[in-house]
Structure 1
């Protein structure tokens, strides 16, 4: 039985079947004797059911590369700290939401490279001319009941990019990028269409901190920590 999927979860010993509390169904049929189950996707990671490191049955998820990247563009506009988010369809939240650009790592990709790529794919903005900053703090575990971040550096990494105010404009009550700095080629449009991404907007940090997206909330908190020695934010 192959168990080398990068997960600490192992098959439940046959003599410990009584540990099973989760029900496994395949094609609508409940399987009564599942001791180990793996769902693996080369682009996302591995979901494993079995005996967890905590000593009970359960499922764990080990993300490709140990965790992805989140990037938060920001600007100090007229003394106010504003952060850049994208409007995106999130079917599992049942609606369109605002969230910070983020994503999984691609093969052999570093976290900073992934952050810049996600910014281009989701906002159409090329970060190459500006200084991408790694936000302070340890890589984050999205949900430590189920997500595995056991290896060095595993977890979600957070980055920020300061945007000059000259690159922003007012549109329908929000700040957004001026049209001249946004990629409009077919590849860029195809990427945003595939991920059902709409407008990019800059909103006050305190509004972003209260959105129903924990990656965005965490990114704002880390940005505030990084800005603690700067002028007071409002």
Structure 2
């Protein structure tokens, strides 16, 4: 995997770096957190940019799905406000980053439990390459097993009830989590069209590859 190097000629920087509101000339910046490391510097191609090395090479997402009595595939998405995606709540997949010393499997259970109270349900990881959620800036080498891990969680249709043209859980108290009431199941094509979440769309594609 490549490394971000120092910028040899700071006068030729394509990015303007401001620290506390003041423009600074820098050669390399590194910001670290429990989620990963953000680095600004010189790329192998010769220009300056920033990249993000995510903890574990990528997080974990869970895609809910079910089959209607007519064998129609429906996909469950969570309506949630995501600060990076605007002021209006969006339909997205359940998931998030990996905590320190956590495996992708444990992250999947934790996120499913935190976001919808579904951590105790059985899942199956989709086969194939893992997903780089932003290839321009995120570093994830799928050939090394890095990237976002996607898991499918099949829900019995008997747990669902019609809600307009969608379906929802009949008894959200069963999951002991308020966000479970924000989950809706859509026909898979509509789920793709409704969600601006790249990870949700990628997981739906992996689901289709697995079941069709």
**TM-score normalised over the length of structure 2:** 0.88
Q: 118-127 or 59-68, which moves further after superposition?
A: 118-127
CA contact (8 A) 1:85 1:200 kept: yes
Matching residue of 1:49: 40
Q: CA RMSD in A?
A: 2.2
- Structure 2 residue ranges without an equivalent (≥5): none
Matching residue of 1:148: 139
SS of equivalent residue, structure 2 residue 129: coil
Deviation at 1:54, TM superposition (A): 2.8
CA contact (8 A) 1:123 1:182 kept: no
1:17-166 map, 5 Å: 17-31=10-24, 33-42=25-34, 44-78=35-69, 79-94=71-86, 95-128=88-121, 130=122, 132-150=123-141, 152-166=144-158
Matching residue of 1:231: none
Which among 186, 194, 206 is matched to residue 189 of structure 2? 206
**Change in 2 beyond 3 A, CA 1:182/1:55:** farther
Deviation at 1:70, TM superposition (A): 1.0
Deviation at 1:154, TM superposition (A): 1.2
Q: 95-104 or 161-170, which moves further after superposition?
A: 161-170
Q: Which runs of at least 4 in structure 1 moved beyond 6 Å after TM superposition?
A: none
Deviation at 1:11, TM superposition (A): 1.8
Deviation at 1:48, TM superposition (A): 0.6
Which among 11, 26, 33 is matched to residue 6 of structure 2? 11
CA contact (8 A) 2:40 2:51 kept: yes
CA contact (8 A) 1:112 1:159 kept: no
Aligned residues: 208
CA contact (8 A) 2:172 2:181 kept: no
Which among 152, 169, 178 is matched to residue 177 of structure 1? 169
Mapped pair 1:216 → 2:208: no
Q: Distance in 2 between matches of 1:55 and 1:108?
A: 34
